[in-house]
Structure 1
Amino acid sequence: MMQTPDSMESKLLRDTFLRDGVVKLSALLAHDDLAGAHSCYNWSLTHLGPHGSGTSFVSSKGSATFEDKANPDAPGVYAPWLHATGLTKAALALWGDSQQAWFMYEQVFMKRGASRRTCWHQDSSYLAIDGQHLIVFWICFDAVAESESLEFVRGSHKGPLYNGSTFNEVDPTEPLYKSGNLPRLPDVDATPDAFDLVSYGIEPGDVIAFHPQTLHGGAATHAGAKRETLSIRLFGDDAVFAHRPGPCGPRVAGLHDALKPGEPFRYPAFVALT
């Protein structure tokens, strides 16, 4: 089973997470945890929901890709696995001062062959939620070299919330929202030395945990490569509903009509994990 927070040197990891907005949790998931994660992942591959990109996700010639997220049927599939693992304990340890945690939604990615990179963005730009008690667990089922892993701008979760990316390969900072006051994304690839970048090589069982407002992008994959990834998003006590300047997630029926900006982010569709 998953390591306990004490064995993870939790204070050092918490300090890194709170300071940088991202931390690598080495050998966090044991074989049975990974097997359960992969079973959930395979379910998502064969049950495309109404909110995913499917095979059009960052597609390019010579590659096969897939993406899905927030399938309304996923909580019933994912919740038993989440309750069986220690991911919730890890989230609480990294947050440090939340007593509760809820499952927001899942997201799955598949890249095979020479696929293009995923443009720099912040997940928070696409989500009507703010708070310190937010976390994304990035679980990859294959070994990934540092050069082909996720890249992050350290500390960017404390900076401005940028406009979302349209993931336009030609113009990677093209704004998602045409109105509102969110600033345009910086072109990180154009001036990488201007940013404090970090990426991690990982092995199966390693997990990257990051705050969804941390600016990040996904490296391209090479010919013959395979990258299968499951992302799990949780939220805790201080999460509040937030305004975004256009339609956004989580795509949960009734959520956006039920809550007003600043109200606690609570809704029956979100599974309590504590």
Structure 2
Amino acid sequence: MLTTPEMRDQFRNDGATVFKNCLDEAQLARCYDAFKWDMANPGPHVYRGLNGTALETHIDNANPEAKAKLDELAASLPFAQIFQELWGSQNVWYFAEEIFAKEGGKSGRGPWHQDTANLPWAGRHWGNAWITFQKIPKRNSLEIVRGSHLGIQYDGASFTSADDPTDPLYGDGTYPRLPHIDRDLARDPNSWDIVSFDINPGDVVFLHPRSLHGGAAVDVDCPTRHTLVMRFFGDDATFRELPTCKPSYARVGPLFRKEMAHFNQGDPFRSPIFRQVAGV
């Protein structure tokens, strides 16, 4: 097996683990090439809601022009086997990529959030492979609230307010508002149980996307963070309807809307649009 019992326990119980030296130089280079191509060729889901603020970050999701290249990349990396082991799933499918670019040492902490607030995902078998191409000390790394993937589903962050990271995505009462975790931690560093990792190029963080996660600021000592996130799902992945109050997110979220329009609450999350990378 590629993973250790400790890594499997961490992923299942904490919602995150780190795989040291997961990717070799050639694999990492292919990932970075994909990242740089996506940066130079933004897709229709590029997000600019924080531009002009202290949290300005280049964020792009599921670029359709990159899909064939990313599908092939996902199939060539060890992530399918790793997720089989972390989940205990026979089958693994690749969903899509997300990229983040923080540069110039000026972008502050990313708002705490759960990916499942704006994507219609439920079940145990979801996972993000978080790949960063620079050396990232723990203080600048992704932070995860330990065990939060097993807890409350909160409203999403709107990602439009640099002053209020809890500004809700929906605000219709379907989900409780996000707690102000950064403010809580400033008052009491033990108020939340936070997991984070020192990262060297080739290390990969694996996390459940329902985990509360955020942070990863850059500063003068760590001025650049380029990150490619590759998202996967397995046998125990189902469809969960999202609130309908925001038309661009209604029921299925902003990505692959046509391909998921037929899904009903609780359906197995399956569509030919998503490349199967392990199983039969």
Q: State the TM-score, normalizing by the size of structure 2.
A: 0.90
Which residue among 215, 219, 240 is the counterpart of 1:222? 219
Quick check: 1:266 aligned with 2:263?
no
Quick check: 1:49 aligned with 2:46?
no
Which residue among 205, 225, 233 is the counterpart of 1:208? 205
Check 1:124–1:61 CA distance in 2 against 1; reply closer, same or farther (3 A cut). closer
- Give the root-mean-square deviation of aligned CA atoms: 1.7
Could you list the per-position Cα deviations for residues 73-108 of structure 1 after superposition, in whole angstroms to 9, with x for gaps in the alignment?
322011222222111111111112x11111111001
Aligned to 2:121: 129
Check 1:250–1:92 CA distance in 2 against 1; reply closer, same or farther (3 A cut). farther
Note if contact 1:57-1:67 (Cα within 8 Å) is conserved in structure 2.
no
Note if contact 1:121-1:217 (Cα within 8 Å) is conserved in structure 2.
yes
Aligned to 1:104: 95
Quick check: 1:159 aligned with 2:163?
no
Structure 1: 4+ residue segments shifted above 6 A: 61-64
Percent identity between the aligned chains? 37
Aligned to 1:233: 231
Whole-angstrom CA distance in 2 between matches of 1:209 and 1:199: 11
Check 1:256–1:23 CA distance in 2 against 1; reply closer, same or farther (3 A cut). same
Quick check: 1:176 aligned with 2:169?
yes
**Per the alignment, in what secondary structure is the counterpart of residue 212 of structure 1?**
coil
Unaligned 5+ segments in structure 1 are none
Which residue among 17, 20, 31 is the counterpart of 2:14? 20
Aligned to 2:75: 83
**Per the alignment, in what secondary structure is the counterpart of residue 171 of structure 2?**
coil
- Comparing 251-260 with 168-177, greater Cα deviation is found at 251-260
**Per the alignment, in what secondary structure is the counterpart of residue 81 of structure 2?**
helix
Could you list the per-position Cα deviations for residues 228-267 of structure 1 after superposition, in whole angstroms to 9, with x for gaps in the alignment?
0000000001111101114153511413321111111111
Check 1:204–1:132 CA distance in 2 against 1; reply closer, same or farther (3 A cut). same
Note if contact 2:142-2:214 (Cα within 8 Å) is conserved in structure 1.
yes
- Comparing 248-257 with 158-167, greater Cα deviation is found at 248-257
- Comparing 243-252 with 110-119, greater Cα deviation is found at 243-252
Note if contact 2:260-2:271 (Cα within 8 Å) is conserved in structure 1.
no
In the TM superposition, what is the alpha-carbon distance from 1:180 to its structure 2 partner? 4.0
Whole-angstrom CA distance in 2 between matches of 1:132 and 1:159: 12
Note if contact 1:58-1:118 (Cα within 8 Å) is conserved in structure 2.
no
- Comparing 72-81 with 194-203, greater Cα deviation is found at 72-81
Whole-angstrom CA distance in 2 between matches of 1:257 and 1:234: 20
Which residue among 171, 181, 191 is the counterpart of 1:188? 181
Could you list the per-position Cα deviations for residues 152-188 of structure 1 after superposition, in whole angstroms to 9, with x for gaps in the alignment?
1000000010000012221111111032420111111
- Comparing 201-210 with 80-89, greater Cα deviation is found at 80-89
Between Structure 1 and Structure 2, how many residues are aligned?
Answer: 265
Check 1:63–1:121 CA distance in 2 against 1; reply closer, same or farther (3 A cut). closer
Whole-angstrom CA distance in 2 between matches of 1:61 and 1:163: 22
Whole-angstrom CA distance in 1 between matches of 2:60 and 2:133: 17
Whole-angstrom CA distance in 2 between matches of 1:256 and 1:205: 33
- Comparing 129-138 with 80-89, greater Cα deviation is found at 80-89
Could you list the per-position Cα deviations for residues 57-79 of structure 1 after superposition, in whole angstroms to 9, with x for gaps in the alignment?
64456897421111123220112
Check 1:219–1:39 CA distance in 2 against 1; reply closer, same or farther (3 A cut). closer
Spell out the pairing of 1:243-262 with structure 2 (5 A cutoff).
243-246=241-244, 247=249, 249=253, 251-262=255-266
**Per the alignment, in what secondary structure is the counterpart of residue 175 of structure 2?**
coil
In the TM superposition, what is the alpha-carbon distance from 1:209 to its structure 2 partner? 0.4
Corresponding letter in the other structure for 1:234: F
Aligned to 1:144: 136
Whole-angstrom CA distance in 1 between matches of 2:181 and 2:171: 21
Corresponding letter in the other structure for 1:20: D
Note if contact 1:70-1:250 (Cα within 8 Å) is conserved in structure 2.
no
- Comparing 32-41 with 79-88, greater Cα deviation is found at 79-88
